[in-house]
Structure 1
Amino acid sequence: MHCSYFAAERCHSCTLIEKPYGAQLTAKQAQAENALGARPDLRWIAPFGSRESGFRNKAKMVVGGTVGQPTLGILDAEARGVDLRDCGLYTPGIHACFPLLAEFVTLAGLTPYDIPRRTGELKNVLVTESPDGELMLRLVLRSQEPVARIRKHLPGLMSALPQLRVVSVNLLPEHAAVVEGEREIVLTDQETLRMRVNGIDMYLRPQSFFQTNTEVAAALYRQAQEWVSEQAPASIWDLYCGVGGFALHCGGTAREVIGIETSQEAVASAELSARQAGLSRVGFQAGDATAFALGAPEAPELVIVNPPRRGLSDELCRWLESSSVQRVVYSSCHAGSLARDLAAMPSLTPRRARLFDMFPQTSHFEVLTLLERV
């Protein structure tokens, strides 16, 4: 894949972009197999590849430049804005909205935040597109000062972008290298973006997590659903469940499913999805995955885990190892932490694994693994 930004040395995020995609996928598969080591009982299924471009459903754009000429992209070494509106990773729908968002920055007088001087207001613009082409826009500000102007000009933006459904302001007053803050102010009547995946409606709130590659996420959920259906467990926990992707795909009338997630917003979204799908035996709770497991009176037959890059906590690994859980479906975005966690749970043996290339042009990927107690 050719990228003019990479060729001009303006952006180096896609570290593998000069390598043919087939070679990328082969190298990632080798990396995953090496990380898990030689395991005679483990069967690797052929990796699930992605489109090379136009796959990212979310854009996290740092705002630079000036009110009159804002940049949407990244910052260079001197904290100056580098405009990346033509980046080939984003979906066509996200591409189409960038010029209108830049115009909105100017019209609403949203001064880009100047990191060296610590002045200005608008830090980041976050855009998410649903599979149906609808959009969520989040404006990350230093303070509430510009909110009145944003409200004033928002009807014009929504008229120009009829697919825009959810708009919010996120407040990040700290001078910190993070994307967003804790407080969110929703400016539209609609507060959730519907993410329809495999015929299941999931709902994304402004601060909820969703995989950035919708097509590959759909395949990931289908694979987990297939493995769980084969095992037919009567009870399932989905730990680190987010907006409920795995739980909603693996639930049904014949089994009890509980999803655990720290984000209250994500839990509210997952509960809405379960109600709409008629999954009366699929429920969700807000809380810490490790604390939930350690405090539960009994264990389920199967546990699904989808932890952050750091993997599972030591306590949760020890609990799984000593529990009566018969099978674990482990979705990992870091093969190294997956290998470490497997070493801490020797009685749960990997039987099947599959790589899902959620992040083409980079060295990152997702691995789904089915573990069975020996």
Structure 2
Amino acid sequence: MDCHHFDAGRCRSCSWLPRAYDDQLAAKEQGCRDLLAPWSDLEWLPPVASRPERFRNKAKMVVGGTVDAPTLGILDPAGAGVDLQDCGLHEPPLRDALPALAAFVTRAGLAPYDVPRRRGELKHVLATVSPDGELMVRFVLRSTEALSRVRKHLPTLLADLPTLVVATVNLQPEHKAVLEGPDEIVLTERQTLRMRVNDVDLHLRPQSFFQTNTEVAAALYRQGRAWVDEVAPARLWDLYCGVGGFALHATAPDREVVGIEVSAEAVASAEQSAREAGVRATFAAGDATTYAARSRRGQPDLVVVNPPRRGIGADLAGWLEASGAGHLVYSSCNATTLARDLAAMPSLRPRRARVLDMFPQTGHYEVAVLLEREA
């Protein structure tokens, strides 16, 4: 992928950009193999490649510049805006929508937040595109001062972007490096973005997490489903379930599926998806480790975990080690913490693993591992 921003030194987010994509993928798999080398009998499935460009389903744009000439992109070391509307990572519908969003900033008089001077209103524009090409856009504001202007000019934006189905204002009043705040004001009739992944419709609410790369996420869920169906558990727990990607791919008429996620917004999304699909799955908001330790639902036959980069940690690993779960599907975005967690569960032996390149042009990737309890 060619990028004039990288060549000019304006943006170095794609730290692996100078490397050929095939070399990137090979290096990621080898790095993961090295970290999981203690399990020498682990079977490695072929890695899942991504499109090296135009793969990101979300744009997280810092707003800089001025009302009349806003920038959507990042900030330079001095806090000035660097415009990245033509970033080659974004899916085409996202890239095509950004000029209209920049024009809306001017039309609605949304003063970009000046980080060094701590003044202004609009901090970020967050946009997500579904596989159907529909858009969700969130304007992260410092306060409600500009809310009336956003509402006033929203009809024009909806006319400019007919695929925009969910628009919100998020409030982040604090001066710190946090992308969004806790309060969300939905401005459209629709409140969720429908993400059609494989044969499952997932509803995405504004503050719900979804994988950045839709095509590779679909491959990840297919792999998880294949392993679950192979084991055929009667009772499955999906811990850190997010909007229910793994859980809703793993449902079956004779299977009890429970998803646990700390985000209430994500749980609401998962519940809506399950209800509309008419499948047997229960979701609840809560801490995964606390749920496992206190649950009275009976021991699961198989557990799926998809934790953040810090991994599942010693407490949950200890519970899984002592539990009656016969199998574990572990999806990790950090193979270093994955290896640590696997070492804490010696009774659950890693059998198969697969690297999925969720993040081309960087050193990051996803890896899925199937573990089986040793007799």
Per-residue deviation, 1:302: 0.2
In structure 1, what is the equivalent of residue 73 of structure 2?
73
Query: Which residue type is aligned with residue 112 of structure 1?
Result: P
CA distances 1:151-191 after superposition (whole Å, capped 9, x unpaired): 00000000110000000001000000111111111111110
CA deviation digits over 1:117-157, x for unaligned, max 9?
A: 10000000000000000000000000000000000000000
Q: Identify the residue that residue 290 of structure 1 maps to in structure 2.
A: 289
Q: Which residue of 1 aligns with 2:159?
A: 159
Alpha-carbon distance between aligned partners in 1 of 2:348 and 2:371, rounded to the nearest angstrom:
5
Q: Indicate the residue corresponding to 1:53 in structure 2.
A: 53
SS of residue in 2 equivalent to 1:352: strand
Query: Is 1:242–1:267's contact at 8 Å kept on the other side of the alignment?
Result: yes
Mark the runs of 5 or more structure 2 residues left unpaired by the alignment: none
The offset of 1:249, in angstroms, is: 0.2
Equivalent residue, structure 1, for 2:86: 86
**Alignment RMSD (CA, Å):** 0.6
Whether 1:331 and 2:331 are equivalent positions in the alignment is yes
Corresponding position of 1:218: 218
Per the TM alignment, residue 39 of structure 1 is displaced from its structure 2 partner at its CA by 2.0
Report the Cα offset of residue 40 of structure 1. Answer: 2.9
Structure 2 Cα separation of the partners of residues 253 and 55 of structure 1: 34
Distance 2:281 2:102 in 1: 42
Q: What residue identity is the alignment partner of 1:230? A: E
Q: Work out whether 1:199 is the aligned partner of 2:199.
A: yes
Does structure 2 conserve the Cα–Cα contact (< 8 Å) formed by 1:252 and 1:282? Answer: no
d(CA) in 2 for partners of 1:128 and 1:40? 40
Task: Report SS of the residue matched to 1:47.
Answer: coil
Specify the SS of the correspondent of 2:247. Answer: helix
In 1, Cα distance between equivalents of 2:37 and 2:186 = 47
- In the alignment, the residues of structure 2 paired with residue 275 and residue 76 of structure 1 have an alpha-carbon distance, to the nearest angstrom, of 45
The answer to whether 1:274 aligns with 2:286 is no
How many residue pairs were aligned? 373
Whole-angstrom distance in 2 between the partners of 1:41 and 1:31: 17
Instruction: Tell me the TM-score normalized by structure 1.
Output: 0.99
**Structure 1 position 38, deviation (Å):** 3.7
The residue that corresponds to 1:184 in the other structure is: 184
Identity, % of aligned positions? 63
User: Does the aligned pair in 2 maintain the 1:73–1:83 contact within 8 Å?
Assistant: yes
Per the alignment, in what secondary structure is the counterpart of residue 310 of structure 2?
A: coil
Quote the Cα distance in structure 1 between the aligned partners of 2:78 and 2:159: 37
Q: How far 1:41 moved relative to its partner? A: 2.3
Cα deviation code 1:328-348 (max 9, x no counterpart): 000000000000000111111
Q: Which segment is superposed worse, 353-362 or 33-42?
A: 33-42
Q: Deviations 1:296-319 (Å, cap 9, x if unpaired)? A: 132100000000000002111110
Q: How does 1:240-279 map to 2 (within 5 A)?
A: 240-279=240-279
Residue 264 of structure 1 deviates from its aligned partner by: 1.1
TM-score (normalised: structure 2): 0.99
Q: Is the 1:290–1:313 Cα contact (8 Å) retained in structure 2?
A: no
Q: Which residue of 2 aligns with 1:18?
A: 18
Residues in 1 aligned to 2:183 and 2:40: alpha-carbon distance in whole angstroms: 49
**CA distance in 1 between partners of 2:239 and 2:331 (Å):** 11
Write the letter of the residue equivalent to 1:293. Answer: A
The equivalent residue for 1:228 is: 228
Instruction: Mark the runs of 5 or more structure 1 residues left unpaired by the alignment.
Output: none
Q: Which residue number corresponds to residue 317 of structure 2?
A: 317
- Give the corresponding residue for 1:95: 95
